[in-house]
Structure 1
Amino acid sequence: MSQSNLKLLALDTSSEGCSAALLVDGQLYDRFELAPRGHTRLLMPMIRQLLADQQLQASDLDALAFACGPGSFTGLRIATGVVQGLAYGLDVPVVPVSSLAAVAADALASPAIAVGHGVAVAFDARMGEVYWGCFEDRDGLPVAVADERVCAPELVSLPNQPEGWCGVGSGLGYRDQMPDAVISRLQGIDENLVPSARHVARLAAEAYRQGRAVPAAQAQPVYLRNTVAWKKLPGR
């Protein structure tokens, strides 16, 4: 199926942001709200409104996507539950998308942030740790150049290539604890970027074309920690 014919619904509740995005025949429509305690209340109305605005029924969708983590335990469970329920009912595949990659995609879409060709993404993982991912720009989309991981800020690192990097995400609030060898290579920093369904949809469309969609049962959250910690959303 070509991108111009794909109808895909993407969801994100992995952080304090709650969002849904609808990709229809190459056009992207989305709803986003910062609402740390409002995911359950907001998500389904967002989905219904997006479909109604484009005069579509859920049965018209070809695929679903969601930010699978890492991120808030509570938030990840919300998106996972909704996307699995819809996928089972509609009998459509699901594309899990890294929350770190979604933020990297956002950075690459903004020349003011993505100074170089590399994006280091850090989320606050609580417990004195960060979720860390490193991506390079390939035709405007982020491609991981190292495994995503959770670690103490003192243990983060950057690959040798590419040479230029920017740092984004709430975990950069710990940059005073990060190695000088990392911080000195960051040509720009933005702590405020959070995952959004808009960029989840962009990445999911490419993954869908590459055959990387999975059945509903395999649409699972990614926590990175071996033992899941109950990381609450702010305000919960």
Structure 2
Amino acid sequence: MNNLTLLAIDTSTEACSVALLHQGEKTHLDELAERTHTQRILPMVDSILAQSGIGLNQVDALVFGRGPGSFTGVRVGGGIAQGLALGADLPVIAVSNLTAMAQAAYEQQQATQVITAIDARMNEVYFSQLVAEKVRSEFGEFLQWNEIIAEQVGAPTRLLEKLGELQGEWTTVGTGWAAYEALQNLGANTTITLPSAQYMLSLAVPMWYQKQTISAVEIEPVYLRNEVTWKKLPGRV
């Protein structure tokens, strides 16, 4: 792993973050930039590479948060990732924003049972339920997240119905718990609310060794919503 260099970016929520794994060390930059992702992300990439004294062409792969998240944020992240990867001829590793927050819960709180919920607006949340297990491979031991509830979008009540009767200790992460009254009791102890690129690095390392990479032209942001409904303005068709 000390010879592996990964650059991660994420703009899928109001958070904007970049992280670098280089010579076995991780560095990261995180900002709240709800409407300025396009202005901030590339300077942040330049800054973190300069801090480590390397160029983009010395990176082994580009990692990006492929969603779910805000439509604009996910689209921006996919576009920036594609541009960087094409420009430097880099393979790409796409990481779920929901799983990245579960990884944060593990690294910060040693949580291995996590329920994620990001506010999706329109009275809906993006959510998943995940359990971690340690897996041994020829590349060493790593953490693998298994979905109990596959990531999806729905009303807060749908999430509660899917969860049913929870057994054991579950950690909640994401903005969705505080956003909706129906979820506030279950998510009262939520402290991790937004994804960060630094935890995407942890997920990407085993994916790299297992050759789970794609090319820049294969990048597909994950919105989970098939359509978005807008209210028609008076007089408009």
Contact persistence 2:176–2:183 (CA under 8 A): no
Deviation at 1:228, TM superposition (A): 4.1
Residue 229 to residue 190, structure 1, CA distance change in 2 (3 Å): farther
- Contact 1:105–1:141 (CA under 8 A) maintained in structure 2: no
Instruction: Tell me what 1:102 maps to.
Output: 100
2:124 aligned with 1:129: yes
Q: 1:210, CA displacement in angstroms?
A: 1.5
Distance 2:147 2:193 in 1: 18
- Asked whether the 8 Å contact 1:69–1:221 carries over to 2, the reply is yes
Q: Is the 8 A contact 2:4 2:23 kept in 1?
A: yes
- Provide the secondary structure at the position in 2 that maps to 1:14: coil
Letter in 1 for 2:154: C
Question: Cα deviations across residues 146-177 of structure 1 (Å, max 9, x unaligned)?
Answer: 21010111011238787321111111025532
Q: 2:181 aligns with which of 176, 185, 192?
A: 176
Q: TM-score, normalised by structure 1?
A: 0.85
Name the Cα RMSD after superposition. 2.3
Deviates most, 125-134 or 154-163: 154-163
2:153 aligned partner, one-letter code: V
Please give the residue correspondences for 1:109-148 in structure 2 after superposition, counting only pairs within 5 Å: 109-111=107-109, 114=111, 117-139=112-134, 140=143, 142-148=145-151
Quick one: distance in 1 between partners of 2:40 and 2:157?
Answer: 37
Contact kept? 1:66, 1:80, Cα under 8 Å = yes
**Residues 72-91 of structure 1 mapped to structure 2, 5 A cutoff:** 72-91=70-89
Whether contact under 8 Å (2:178, 2:184) holds in the other structure is: no
- Deviations along 1:183-225, one digit per CA (max 9) or x if unpaired, are 3xx7x63165201110112111221111111011111110011
Aligned residues: 220
The one of 149, 154, 160 aligned to 2:152: 149
Aligned position for 2:208: 208
What SS does structure 2 have at the residue aligned with 1:146?
strand
TM-score of the pair, normalised by structure 2: 0.85
Gaps of 5+ in 1: 231-236
For residues 97 and 50 of structure 2, what CA distance do their matches in structure 1 show? 27
Verify: 1:93 aligned to 2:91, yes or no: yes
Runs of 4+ aligned structure 1 residues displaced above 3 Å come to: 139-143, 159-162
Task: Report the Cα distance in structure 1 between the residues aligned to 2:3 and 2:50, rounded to whole angstroms.
Answer: 18
AA partner of residue 217 (structure 1): V
**Aligned-partner Cα distance in 2 for 1:93–1:192:** 29
Q: 1:58 to 1:196 in 2, by over 3 A?
A: same
Checking the alignment, whether the CA contact within 8 Å between 2:12 and 2:70 is kept in structure 1 is yes
Aligned AA (2:121): R
Matched AA of 2:90 = V
Letter in 2 for 1:169: G
For the 8 Å contact 2:130–2:146, the answer to whether it is kept is: yes
Stretch moving more, 10-19 or 35-44? 35-44
CA deviation string 1:55-112 (max 9, x = no partner): 101111110010000001111111111110111121111001000011111111122x
Q: Is the 8 A contact 2:63 2:93 kept in 1?
A: yes
Q: Which amino acid aligns with 2:128?
A: G
Aligned twin of 1:11: 9
